[in-house]
Structure 1
Amino acid sequence: MAQQTLNELYEIIKNRKAQPKEGSYTNYLFDKGLDKILKKVGEEATEVVIAAKNEDPQELIYETADVLYHLLVLLAEKNIPYEAIEAELASREGVVSKTTDRPEITNL
């Protein structure tokens, strides 16, 4: 199986939104709407946290793939191009960030 980039996956998701395919999980999410997509992003993010606390690295890989997929569905739903995320990440390259620049997280 050929390696698929996140950008390629995003293009497939956008295409599925434009040209629905019956029985598609991606279309199920689009049909259910933003609240369902947000619920899945939250669930998958929580599963990543739990997997990271466990011993099995494959579990973390699996759950990370799930959260990335659902984030891409969210971006497509909100019509945010993947390139905007790439540009944001690129704008951060080389930027020095100090922990003193950020408020301490105390409510965990």
Structure 2
Amino acid sequence: MSCEDRTGSLLATLAASKPDGHFLELGTGVGAGAAWPASGMPPGARLVTVEANTVVQAIACHHLADDARIEFVHAVADDWLTPRRTACSTSRTSTAGPGSTSGCPIS
């Protein structure tokens, strides 16, 4: 579970290791999982968290919405991911060459 101390501490540490990292969480819930990486994220990092249930997402927003590094998306994860997966496949095959480190945009 993401809200257990050891797991949460690991998430915060991993987030801290990526100064300009972009992180994605599928299933915001009430925000316990998002709070952990956010606690370790450097100022340049960004977390997008996707939730289909507006009731639980509202709880997360209440507690975490003041953090400009976090973007809350109300959507079914698969519906939100599908166009991004297509864009990612296209960008990798058309522009990324051998050894490329370019990734897919989250938003």
Alignment TM-score > 0.5, same fold: no
Q: TM-score, normalised by structure 2?
A: 0.33
Q: TM-score, normalised by structure 1?
A: 0.33
Identify the structure with bigger relative contact order (alpha carbons < 8 Å, sequence gap 6+): 1
Greater strand content: 2
Which one has a bigger Cα radius of gyration? Answer: 1
